[in-house]
Structure 1
């Protein structure tokens, strides 16, 4: 049995069927009465049918057993018409069973229709034999059948609700376990992303130091070697070389300061245009090159993912203007609109007709291309140097602000 309540119902059901059969047995005339044999056979069929219906059998077999019970109970009503309406107690037990075991509306309607048909026919038989028809007795005994049907429906609905709750609880428990697993995986993924971000930042800083400070320090070593050789043969030439070494040292120190600053927290609480302006002001102070920042659009609309790259590109552009162009002024112009971000760095340096990209320009190009941007340069002798960069907005950048 599926539960104690069903077991208890099953026990009460078979006891009632047997007791009611025994009550009708008292109305017979002994063993010679054909109705006695009918009752004995009915009890046997009730018991067999009961255990079949209360077992896990196919629905068709269970329905067939219920129809057999219906026929036998109808027989009690026709054979014992003198017992008035006691046979309806049988139908009350059957109605509870039918409405408990089955939930198909057509099947329940069929049983209900057959019951009303048999009830009317037996009532007519009783009226023919006794010449009387008791409405109150019909109503009282009929209510027991209706009550049995209601109890069966309630038990079935309760059982179905309990099974549904059990299934939903199982699904909820599985969902909870899956959610915990997903949360654990998300946490592991977040840790991996954090580690990768740290590694990437370290690699970026290492690349900057290698490509800027490392290059200058290498040149410094070479120039010092030249100065040592020239010290004894050409003192004036040695002074010039030492001056170059001094400038290389200053440039390297500036690059180291910038790299160390990037190791600190990312300018929390400072607007991006203020960060760029501070960068230009510091560079101007160190190199005596006039710098100017022109911003068209909202700096706050520039995605966080692009801000470090733009900052490094501007820094490298300023260094390139002073170091290779010997420029006196440099303009940094940023235009932001719905299509993306356009960056222009223009100086008034010496310029050159045939451009041979140095390490700085190559690094700038690589940084821009990493974000799907375009990189272009233009220069003529005596007309300075211009850098044009475009960053198209990516789908994940839309709506991202500082």
Structure 2
């Protein structure tokens, strides 16, 4: 707001300065015209002419000053121009001075500067030119009495043509300059507004970016709390169970320890993935690489047998991370609840999405099977991605979990 006020103030100052320049030039021209008139005519004999000439000049000066420095409605301003032309006509008839065309130019300068209506400017220009022709002709005839008609016509037409050229140049130059000036002002204002809008957009974008970062961090923190917390809880339960079984059933205790080991690795991987995300680095390069890494780590740490058939599928980072975590959850569940020793993992493109299948050779879901926290979380996340999960299998025939998600939103 401060910039705009300053800008408007500068424009007003420019108009005031132009008004002073025009008014000073007008007074100088009036002095020159009156001085030339006094050199040709005796003031004592032509005193009544001076009584008309001087007041006409003063009235024109006052009119020009009022139009520059006081706000005047357009219709009243046009009436003032009509009065100015009448007084200029009187001055021209009295003096017959050729410089009268300059006074017409100075008188109309204010309108050409302040009015953006080209039609109104042309009307004033046309009326002013017509009055100038009449005033020049009448003034010339009065001053040059007794000159032959042919000579009079030639000089009058020549003077009118010269005056019209001066008036036209004055009109065109000011109109072109003001058009350029107004366009420059509008462009400057538009650029200032564009800069302001850009600054506002950048501030809004920065605010949105910060909000998005905070939301992402909150989501990652929730993932760590939910997923890693669940895995660590399972590790504790498995190790406690193994402690109780180590003497009575060493084989079962071994399975519990293996399951706890996988759960611990799962929790570690999830936390590592979350840390990578917080640091702005991708945790998984592709679905194929992610699943193959899970298989390699699991086989190296256990006696499990895992066969995989994963297509090279390109997915977003969040979807890839979800599917890899789901595979880990399925392996952990197969060991803990089904006693599985072998797994098959497959991933392929289907229609507009991706299907991941994890099957095992465990005991399979019982008749009263209910989904636990891990499977419920997996199902909810799959639904967020436009898909879902399917769990099938019979007792002593293993379990099969299929996760389907859409490739993109």
Equivalence for 1:215: 234
| 2:56 paired with 1:42 | yes
Change (3 A) 1:51 1:112: closer
Q: Is the 8 A contact 2:386 2:405 kept in 1?
A: yes
Match of 1:384 in 2: 398
- Cα-to-partner distance string for 1:125-150 (whole Å, 9 max, x where unaligned): 55696322364675467435533553
In structure 1, what is the equivalent of residue 84 of structure 2?
69
**Change beyond 3 A, Cα 1:99–1:180:** closer
Residue in 2 aligned with 1:176?
195
Which region of structure 1 is more displaced relative to structure 2, 304-313 or 338-347? 338-347
Q: Does the alignment pair 1:305 with 2:318?
A: yes
Matched, 1:277 2:292: yes
TM-aligned CA deviation for residue 74 of structure 1: 1.9
Q: Does structure 1 residue 197 correspond to structure 2 residue 216?
A: yes
- Secondary structure of the residue aligned to 2:392 is strand
Shift of 1:273: 0.7
Paired residue secondary structure (2:217): helix
- Name the SS of the counterpart of 1:203 in structure 2: helix
Query: Is residue 329–residue 348 contact of structure 1 (8 Å, CA) maintained in 2?
Result: yes
How far residue 279 of structure 1 moved from its aligned partner, in angstroms, is 1.0
Closer/same/farther in 2, CA of residues 216 and 110 from structure 1, 3 Å limit: closer
Q: Out of 9, 13, 16, which is 1:2 matched to?
A: 13
> 1:252 is matched with which residue?
260
**CA distance in structure 2 between the partners assigned to 1:111 and 1:129 by the alignment:** 34
In the TM superposition, what is the alpha-carbon distance from 1:269 to its structure 2 partner? Answer: 8.2
Q: How many Å apart are 1:313 and its aligned residue?
A: 0.6
Aligned-partner Cα distance in 1 for 2:125–2:200: 53
Would you say 1:339 and 2:332 are equivalent positions?
A: no
Give the distance between the partners of 1:102 and 1:179, measured in 2 at CA: 33
How far apart are the structure 2 equivalents of 1:133 and 1:90?
A: 23
| 2:338 counterpart SS class | coil
State whether residues 14 and 50 of structure 1, in contact with CA within 8 Å, keep that contact through their aligned partners in structure 2.
no
Aligned length: 380
TM-score, normalised via structure 2 length: 0.77
Compute the displacement of 1:203 (Å): 2.9
Q: Which runs of 5+ in 2 are unaligned?
A: 1-11
| Preserved CA contact (<8 Å) 2:262 2:332 | no
How far did residue 162 of structure 1 move?
4.4
Relative distance call for 1:267 and 1:98 in structure 2 (3 A) is: closer
Alignment RMSD, CA only? 3.5
1:113 has 2:126 as partner: yes
Q: Which runs of 5+ in 1 are unaligned?
A: 228-237, 396-402
Residues 26 and 103 in structure 2, CA contact (< 8 A), matched pair in contact too: no
Shift of 1:339: 1.8
Asked if the contact 2:129/2:164 (under 8 Å) is kept, the reply is no
Change (3 A) 1:110 1:287: same
Which deviations, in whole Å up to 9, do the C-alpha atoms of 1:91-148 show, x marking residues without a partner?
3433545434444333333234334444554566556963223646754674355335
Q: Deviations over 1:230-251 (max 9, x none)?
A: xxxxxxxx62255544433332
Aligned pair in 2 of structure 1 residues 136, 386: CA closer, same or farther (>3 Å)?
farther
Asked if the contact 1:102/1:108 (under 8 Å) is kept, the reply is: yes
1:39 Cα shift?
A: 0.9
Q: Is the CA contact (8 Å cut-off) linking 1:100 and 1:153 kept in structure 2? A: no
